[in-house]
Amino acid sequence: MSLCEAEKTFILHGVEENFRVDGREREDYRTMELETDIVAHAFGSARLRLADTDVLVAVKIEVDVPFPESPHHGKIEFFVDCSANATPDFEGRGGEDLAINLSSTLSSAYSSPLAFDLTKLCILHGKKCWKLYVDILILECGGNLFDAVSLAVKAALWNTQVPLVKNVNIDGNTVEINVSDELYNCTRLDVQKAPIMVTVCKIGEKCIVDPNAAEEQCSVGSVVVAVSGNKLSTVYQTGTGSLHPTTFLESINLGFRVAQRLDEALWESLDQIKPNQDVGFLK
């Protein structure tokens, strides 16, 4: 999408008047649709559609060896694939930089023990642990990818079922793990404080959340704020523009406030969700 100067001016004036081109105010989100447990071969999955942005997340689990420096921790790894069908900008290797930025930001946000407790993934201290592979596929890109991805990841982890370990046998350096054969004999991950990301864009002299693709082109600077519960987890600046220190602090405060509202709305939807059922929220 390429905007002319007249279109950019129209968007800028709308933001100044707190009336965006799609009728929203500056702190409003577009309608979202969420579905969980849709990938049969995954331990947990979710698909989230935020207007024209569509994200699919699948979680796989395997037994691994803890890092020597954190013998009582499990592991979590994020991989992002930007489908070439999502937007023409992703053709060839166009989506590689964005995929790296998304995965590194997620890794940073989930690295804090306040956001996600990796000790719950430990099976045997220093010997065995669970490793989570969180695979994220961008099916369609209509703006605000960071927010959509963070919501889909949290929903997929909420949906993830970790096999219950019945016993562990140790024979010298050999460790054998036996898991329950019962299909539903699993444990759930604690994702109550898993981070929610909110992208705050400055357009003109005002800041907005949930920018669409057109508004992202008008932004002079953006900040991604990751919030875990009532704690600030990560702040990541995107784009090529810069923000005044005062505007930067205002953006963080706005992102923090909106992230808490967004998290509450997500939990309300997850409490109501049933297998193979779409749930809309923030309408």
Q: Where are the alpha helices (DSSP H) in the chain?
A: 5-16, 96-110, 145-159, 213-218, 245-272
Residue 28 is part of which domain span? 5-273
DSSP state string for 28-53:
----EEEEES--TTSSEEEEEEETTE
pLDDT higher than 80, residue 280: no
DSSP-derived pairing of the beta strands 128-140 and 75-82: parallel
pLDDT of residue 282: 43
Which residue matches tokens 């759930």?
A: 188
β-partners of residue 156 are none
pLDDT higher than 50, residue 200: yes
* Residue 283 placed within a domain: no
* Residue 278 placed within a domain: no
* Residue 124 placed within a domain: yes
Mean pLDDT of 181-192: 82
pLDDT of residue 274: 58
pLDDT higher than 90, residue 45: yes
Task: Look over the chain and give the mean of its residue pLDDT values, rounded to a whole number.
Answer: 87
* Residue 134 placed within a domain: yes
pLDDT of residue 93: 66
CA–CA gap between residue 232 and residue 234 (Å, rounded): 6
Quote the Cα angle for 227-232-233, to 5°.
75
CA–CA gap between residue 77 and residue 104 (Å, rounded): 10
pLDDT range class, residue 272, cuts 50, 70, 90 = confident
* Residue 22 placed within a domain: yes
The domain total for the chain is 1
Q: What is the pLDDT of residues 90-111, one digit of tens each?
A: 766 667 888 898 999 999 999 8
The CATH number of whichever domain residue 30 belongs to comes to 3.30.230.70
Classify residue 164 by its DSSP letter.
P
Quote the Cα angle for 33-193-131, to 5°.
90
* Residue 182 placed within a domain: yes
pLDDT of residue 277: 47
Q: Is the backbone of residue 172 left (phi > 0), alpha (psi -120 to 50) or beta?
A: left
Q: What is the pLDDT of residues 124-172, one digit of tens each?
A: 888 899 999 999 999 998 889 999 999 999 999 999 989 888 778 787 7
Q: What is the pLDDT of residues 218-270, one digit of tens each?
A: 988 899 999 998 888 888 888 767 788 888 999 999 999 999 999 999 999 99
pLDDT of residue 136: 96
pTM, 2 dp = 0.90
β-partners of residue 56 are 47, 137
pLDDT of residue 1: 61
Q: Which residues lie closer than 8 Å to 106 by C-beta, 6 or more apart? A: 78, 134, 149, 150, 153
